[in-house]
Amino acid sequence: MLKIISLLLLFALGQERTFACDDLVGQSGRAAPVREWWQSAQFYQIYPRSFMDSNGDGIGDLAGITSRLSYLKELGVTAVWLSPIYTSPMADFGYDIADFFDIQPEYGTLDDFDKLVQEANRLGLKVILDFVPNHSSDENDWFKKSVRRERGYEDYYMWHDGYKNEQGERVPPNNWLQAFRGSAWEWNEERQQYYLHQFAVKQPDLNYRNPAVVAQMKRVLTYWLDRGVSGFRVDAVPWCFEVLPDETGRYPDEPKSGYTDDPDDSSYLLHIYTQDLPETVDMVYQWRKLLDDYQRIHGGDRRVLLTEAWSPLDYVMKFYGNRTTKGAQMPFNFQFIVGGNGDKNNTNLPATGFAKIISSWLDKMPSGQVANWVMGNHDQRRVGSRYGEERIDTMNMLQMFLPGVSITYMGEEIGMTDLDISWEDSRDPAACNSNANIYEQFTRDPARTPFQWSSSANAGFSTNATTWLPINPNYVTVNVETEKAATKSHLTIYNQLVELRKSRTLQEGGTSYAAVGENVLAIKRSLQNEKTYLLLANVLDTDATADVTSVLRVSGNFKTKISNMISTRKEGDTVSADSVSLRPYEAIIVESD
């Protein structure tokens, strides 16, 4: 706590915080380091079910994505990450995989996938697939074979007899909980044993203590590399390994967290035996080695790993690798999601809060590594709903202006917002496993509604008036077509940011930032012999005037380059660094002469 207060004070006093990835700044006079394609890339996450429906069944598909790749190209995207497209009974919308080597029929065929990759490559876009290592579907052949104890598959999953209680009733091996409410153990009648599922009942955990499983999952990676993908975003990494049982075969209970009284809620327990194990980090290093070996043999650009972990930062940073072994290039930085207010509602977050979020990652990141910025995804409230609609452009500015990799969830570029979904229309298991009174706490549906392409019927997403989730009625104004045609819109601002991002300053420059009072977040990007850019954002609903000369070590006049929807400043308008006045929620990017 003390540390946090002193940190805030530091910002409030306008102390400068400077981050210069020493590899990237030319000041030391060293030759410019070799830069790889991903280091300042723009990643774009597609939730395939909701992106574009090509055949009128109300569900997005691969041919739909292929038909819209040119939009992504125009948007400056470097690499497209597709949420799971593999064969799946869709108990968790593709995160329950029945066949890791084939495509979900609703989404298309392997042929459609090859066409997608081919067209993407033609446009210079890279394709990244979601890799879901922790579990398969219970409808996967591996699981069926394991249930039957077929040779080679006996220990593919985490099986256990369980115990008898005093009444002689059968009880699960221990108190572990699944992420979607209730016990993590499910009785299987046929095999007469429990199996572990850290997610839904239909998502049995693979047994990573079994070398055959480790080898099988590496085969999955190679298979898709052979089909032309440029890397993987690894789902739910921290869950891969569980603690070993004791000599009697017993897995220890997890301690209560004290966070909630609801014994079915996964946060009821501290997951010290089922998440964040060191073996999992080593597994990621092995996958990185596989990718590097693949590149050595087959050539082409570097293949990349992006890892999803909501763990404590000290653990997350381990995924980058250590002194002797390389890890993931991009362990996801979720600080803009988990930082700020504990309830994730950051609509009132002051400038000091923003500065703290930025420093939380940059301060911890090992030197020589590249930062990345994730503002949202299909599991979170949309940015406009978490940070407030007035700050949509500010968040896109931050995403594109901060050093390193940007990762945009589809629709954030046009400012899509959450849609409240009724209990009847709910599809997410996290909601459906609860009840009509409490599902809104758990549901992930509001951020998964179909993409809004135009103001025509069904937002141009589908020819079918019934779509798998309802379309947000705000599509009439919030859509690609309308925003593209406007003089100024979330989308035109995003496009300006894309252009600015191509500058050497943003690609390679150093970074310093400060909170000036509670209102103004000020960030400088600079590089010797290049233009200096400042992002100046009033993040609160009151007027503010700031002198950023000492905190950012700049002086004189700057010219307005980009301004948000709220700003009335025009391109070229002069801004004096010693007196920057900003209206409520106004955000601008200015350049030096």
Alpha carbon distance 450, 53 (integer Å)? 9
Q: How far is the CB of 106 from Ca ion (least distance, A)?
A: 6
CB-side neighbour CA atoms (13 Å) of 177: 19
Q: How far is the CB of 56 from ligand NAG (least distance, A)?
A: 5
Task: Rank residues 193 and 417 by Cβ distance to ligand NAG and give the closer one.
Answer: 417
Is residue 276 at the binding interface for ligand NAG, with CB under 6 A as the rule? no
Taking CB under 5 A as the binding criterion, the range among 9-17, 50-58, 119-127, 312-320 that sits at the site for Ca ion is 50-58
**What are residue 430's phi and psi, to 5 degrees?**
-60, -30
Beta bridge partners of 536: 522, 588
Alpha carbon distance 417, 389 (integer Å)? 8
CA 350-388-330 angle, 5° bins: 80
Task: Rank residues 23 and 57 by Cβ distance to ligand NAG and give the closer one.
Answer: 57
Q: Which of 25, 82, 132, 309 binds ligand NAG (CB under 6 A)?
A: 132
Is residue 539 at the binding interface for ligand NAG, with CB under 6 A as the rule? no
Is residue 591 at the binding interface for Ca ion, with CB under 5 A as the rule? no
Residues whose CB falls within 8 Å of the CB of residue 94, separated by 6 or more in sequence, listed in order: 48, 49, 83, 84, 85, 86, 88, 104, 130
Alpha carbon distance 592, 531 (integer Å)? 6
Task: Rank residues 146 and 377 by Cβ distance to ligand NAG and give the closer one.
Answer: 377
Which does residue 285 bind out of ligand NAG, Ca ion, none, counting CB within 5 to 8 angstroms by kind?
ligand NAG
Is residue 104 at the binding interface for Ca ion, with CB under 5 A as the rule? no
Q: How far is the CB of 78 from ligand NAG (least distance, A)?
A: 20
Is residue 276 at the binding interface for Ca ion, with CB under 5 A as the rule? no
Burial of residue 492, with CB atoms counted within 10 A of its CB: 0-12 exposed, 13-18 middle, 19 or more buried: middle
Taking CB under 6 A as the binding criterion, the range among 208-216, 373-381, 394-402, 508-516 that sits at the site for ligand NAG is 373-381
> 147, 129, 137, 46: which is closest to 92 by C-alpha?
137
Which does residue 324 bind out of ligand NAG, Ca ion, none, counting CB within 5 to 8 angstroms by kind?
ligand NAG
Alpha carbon distance 23, 66 (integer Å)? 37
Q: Which of 14, 48, 58, 76 binds ligand NAG (CB under 6 A)?
A: 58
Is residue 449 at the binding interface for ligand NAG, with CB under 6 A as the rule? no
Task: Rank residues 296 and 323 by Cβ distance to ligand NAG and give the closer one.
Answer: 323
| Residue-wise burial string across 443-465, b where 16 or more C-beta atoms lie within 10 A, e elsewhere | bbbbbbbbbbbbeeebbbbbeee
> 526, 502, 399, 375: which is closest to 18 by C-alpha?
526
Taking CB under 6 A as the binding criterion, the range among 50-58, 107-115, 217-225, 448-456 that sits at the site for ligand NAG is 50-58
Is residue 377 at the binding interface for ligand NAG, with CB under 6 A as the rule? yes
Residues whose CB falls within 8 Å of the CB of residue 182, separated by 6 or more in sequence, listed in order: 264, 433
Characterise 21 by phi-psi region: left (phi > 0), alpha (psi -120 to 50), beta (else): beta
Residues in the chain: 593
Q: How far is the CB of 380 from ligand NAG (least distance, A)?
A: 8
Q: Which of 53, 138, 412, 483 binds Ca ion (CB under 5 A)?
A: 53
Q: Which of 61, 138, 235, 586 binds ligand NAG (CB under 6 A)?
A: 235
Residue number of the CB closest to ligand NAG reads 95
Q: How far is the CB of 430 from ligand NAG (least distance, A)?
A: 7
Looking at beta carbons, which pairs linking 501-507 to residues 24 or more positions away fall under 8 Å? Answer: 501/40, 501/42, 501/76, 501/400, 501/406, 503/530, 503/531, 503/533, 504/530, 505/530, 505/531, 505/532, 505/533, 506/40, 506/400, 506/401, 506/403, 506/533, 507/35, 507/40
Is residue 263 at the binding interface for ligand NAG, with CB under 6 A as the rule? no
User: Of the residues 61, 235, 393, 413, which is catalytic?
Assistant: 235
Which does residue 377 bind out of Ca ion, ligand NAG, none, counting CB within 5 to 8 angstroms by kind?
ligand NAG
- The residue count for binding ligand NAG (CB under 6 A) is 24
Task: Rank residues 135 and 490 by Cβ distance to ligand NAG and give the closer one.
Answer: 135
**What are residue 570's phi and psi, to 5 degrees?**
-105, 160
Beta bridge partners of 589: 535, 562
Is residue 308 at the binding interface for ligand NAG, with CB under 6 A as the rule? yes
Q: How far is the CB of 460 from ligand NAG (least distance, A)?
A: 16
Alpha carbon distance 507, 527 (integer Å)? 10
Q: How far is the CB of 142 from Ca ion (least distance, A)?
A: 14
Is residue 236 at the binding interface for ligand NAG, with CB under 6 A as the rule? yes
Alpha carbon distance 250, 174 (integer Å)? 8
Which does residue 235 bind out of ligand NAG, Ca ion, none, counting CB within 5 to 8 angstroms by kind?
ligand NAG
Question: Is residue 418 flagged as an active site residue?
Answer: no
Query: Binding pattern to Ca ion, positions 57-76, x when CB under 5 A?
Result: x-x-x---------------
Is residue 56 at the binding interface for ligand NAG, with CB under 6 A as the rule? yes
Is residue 254 at the binding interface for Ca ion, with CB under 5 A as the rule? no
CA 126-316-212 angle, 5° bins: 70
Alpha carbon distance 512, 23 (integer Å)? 16
Q: Which of 54, 329, 385, 564 binds ligand NAG (CB under 6 A)?
A: 385
Q: Which of 435, 466, 529, 568 binds ligand NAG (CB under 6 A)?
A: 466
Task: Rank residues 245 and 470 by Cβ distance to ligand NAG and give the closer one.
Answer: 470
Residues whose CB falls within 8 Å of the CB of residue 332, separated by 6 or more in sequence, listed in order: 306, 307, 308, 309, 316, 372, 374, 407
User: Of the residues 308, 390, 445, 483, which is catalytic?
Assistant: 308
Question: Is residue 308 flagged as an active site residue?
Answer: yes
Alpha carbon distance 105, 98 (integer Å)? 12
| Residue-wise burial string across 240-265, b where 16 or more C-beta atoms lie within 10 A, e elsewhere | bbbeeeeeeeebeebeeeeeeeeeeb
Q: Which of residues 161-220 bind Ca ion (CB under 5 A)?
A: 205
Interacting residues toward ligand NAG by CB under 6 A: 56-58, 92, 95, 132, 199, 235-236, 282, 285, 308, 322-325, 345, 347, 377, 379, 381, 385, 464, 466
Interacting residues toward Ca ion by CB under 5 A: 53, 55, 57, 59, 61, 134, 205, 239
Active-site positions? Answer: 235, 308
